[in-house]
Amino acid sequence: MEETKMNMPLLGDAFPELKVQTTHGPMDLPSDMKGKWFVLFSHPADFTPVCTTEFVAFQKRYKEFEELGCSLIGMSIDQVFSHIKWIEWIKTKLDVEIKFPIVAANDSVALKLGMLHPSKGTNTVRAVFIVDPESKVRLIMYYPQEVGRNIDEIIRVVKALQISDRQGAVAAGWPNNELIGDRIIVPPATNEKDAQKRPDEYECFDWWFCHKPLEK
C-alpha cells in the first residue's frame, strides 16, 4: 500500500501546480496568477464561526489587497456547492458579498500544501501562503483551528515583501518599528572598506546596522 505523504512548499519554492475547482470556475494555480501577487488561505470548514469572521474580515479589506495588486483565494476541503451556499448565507445574513474565489480542495491538493490537520480528520488548517508574481512562495503562516487570523498582519507582510523587493529589508513591526519607524535597513557591509564608509553614507547605530529613508 502506497504511503500517503504530506508535502509543504518551503520559502522560495515554486508554488505547486494545482488544477482546482472554485466558486468562480476552474483555475490552474499558479499559472492563472502569473505576474501577480496572491494570497491563498485555507480554512477548516464552511459554516463555522471563526472561519466566517475571517472571510468577512478578508472581504472588508478586499480593496486594500487590490491596491497592492494582490488577489485573494480561499480554500477548504468542502465541495463547491457548500462554498456557494455559505457565501450566499454570508451575503444574506451579514450583508457582506464575498468577491474572491474559494477552492474546493481534495485531499491530494491539501496534501501538496501540507494543509491537512493531523488530528482533525479531513479539516484543513488555517494556512496562509503569499506568492509573488514569479510564482514563488514568499511567506507561510499556520494557525490552529481555534485562533482566527489577523488580516491586517497579512496586508502588512504583503506590503513589506513588495517594499523589501524594491528597497531593502524592513524592521520588526514595520512601518512602526520602535527604533527606526518605517525606514529601510541597509544590508550589512561585507568587507572592511565598505564597513568604514557606512557611517558616512547612512544613518547608523553601527556599521552593521544602518538605515535609510523609505522611498514613497
CA distances from 206 to 83, 195, 197, 200, 209 (A): 54, 9, 11, 11, 5
Average pLDDT, the chain: 91
Domain 18-148: give its CATH architecture.
3-Layer(aba) Sandwich (3.40)
d(CA 22, CA 78) in angstroms, rounded, equals: 11
Report which of 138, 180, 140, 189 is spatially closest to residue 160, judged by C-alpha positions.
138
Q: Is 70 a catalytic residue?
A: no
Domain ranges, ordered by start, for the chain: 18-148, 168-212
Q: Under CATH, which architecture does the 168-212 domain have?
A: 2-Layer Sandwich (3.30)
Q: Are 44 and 79 in contact (CB under 8 A)?
A: no
Name the pLDDT band for 51 (thresholds 50, 70, 90). very high
Cβ contact 128:157 at 8 Å:
no
Which tens digits make up the pLDDT trace of 197-214?
Answer: 999 999 999 999 999 999
Residues 30-48 pLDDT 10s: 999 999 999 999 888 899 9
- Cα distance between residue 52 and residue 49, in whole Å: 5
80: its cell numbers: 463547491
pLDDT exceeds 50 at position 2? no
70-119 pLDDT, tens digit per residue, is 999 999 888 999 999 999 999 999 999 999 999 998 777 777 787 765 55
The span from the CA of 147 to the CA of 131, in Å, is: 23
Whether pTM > 0.75 for this model: the answer is yes
pLDDT value, residue 3: 41
Query: Phi/psi of residue 185, each to 5°?
Result: -80, 130
Q: With 50 as the cut, is the pLDDT of residue 4 above it?
A: no
Catalytic residue among 51, 70, 204, 210: 51
pLDDT at 1: 32
pLDDT value of residue 67 = 97
Partners of 116 in the β-ladder: 124
Whole-number pLDDT of residue 66: 97
Read off the pLDDT of residues 133-148 as tens digits, 9 standing for 90 and up: 999 999 999 888 888 9
